[in-house]
Structures are given as C-alpha cells and as structure tokens.
Amino acid sequence: AQTVTQSQPEMSVQEAETVTLSCTYDTSESNYYLFWYKQPPSRQMILVIRQEAYKQQNATENRFSVNFQKAAKSFSLKISDSQLGDTAMYFCAFISGNTPLVFGKGTRLSVIA
C-alpha cells in the first residue's frame, strides 16, 4: 500500500522569506501523480501544485515550486516570498492508477509578519 509521510507537523517562516515543506512517499508503482494541497483557516482544500512522475521537470506555479526526486521518493514544496496568506495546513498527496488519493498528515505553516 502507498504511504505518504510529512515529517514536519509545524513550521514557521518570516514574511518574504523562503520555506520548504518535506514529503516522502512509498510506492512500487512507476506511474503516479503527486500533489500539494493547501487548507487555510477557511477549511477549503485548494490544489497548489501537481507533478506527474514521468516528467523530470519540476512543476512550478508562481511562488510555489517542487523538488521531485523520484529515486529518493521525495516531493518537497518550496514557497518563495512567503506571504501572510500562505498561512495554512499543507497536505502532500499521492495517486496511482485507479486508486484514490492518499494524504500525508499535513504540515501547519505559519507566516510571521
């Protein structure tokens, strides 16, 4: 069974600084997708970024980028120029084939003014 591990329950960063959230996963599949979701205090789950395992190029979305290391089964999220609105829970998630998403337990990020 696939598992997703987020080893940092909580993190904090100063406004305008850069922060990296860690995620590792375990799978025997070769084709899969990885995601980062953001959950602000409003509770809404928002897709931040998606990475296809067959793509070597790391995905980027504005200030958000990933470092995808397939061999190491690592999928970290980098947030540049952190803003107060980035304060949220961040969940790493994995999906392969026809199976449902598997989520990590989340990292609570606080951006400090």
Partner 1 sequence: DAEITQSPRHKITETGRQVTLACHQTWNHNNMFWYRQDLGHGLRLIHYSYGVQDTNKGEVSDGYSVSRSNTEDLPLTLESAASSQTSVYFCASSEVAGWEQYFGPGTRLTVT
Task: Check binding of 90 to partner 1 (CB under 8 A).
Answer: no
When binding is defined by CB under 8 A, the residue of 28, 30, 56, 98 that contacts partner 1 is 98
Which CB, 42 or 113, lies closer to partner 1? 42
Which residues in 26-85 contact partner 1 (CB under 8 A)? 33, 35, 43-45, 47, 50
Which CB, 85 or 100, lies closer to partner 1? 100
Report helix, strand or coil for 40.
coil
Contacts for 89 with CB less than 8 Å, ≥ 6 apart: 38, 39, 106, 107, 108, 109
Q: Are 92 and 23 in contact (CB under 8 A)?
A: yes
When binding is defined by CB under 8 A, the residue of 20, 73, 101, 110 that contacts partner 1 is 101
| Of 34, 46, 110, residue with least CA distance to 73 | 34
Shortest distance in whole angstroms from residue 14 CB to partner 1: 26
CA atoms of 44 and 102, how far apart (whole Å): 18
Which CB, 85 or 97, lies closer to partner 1? 97
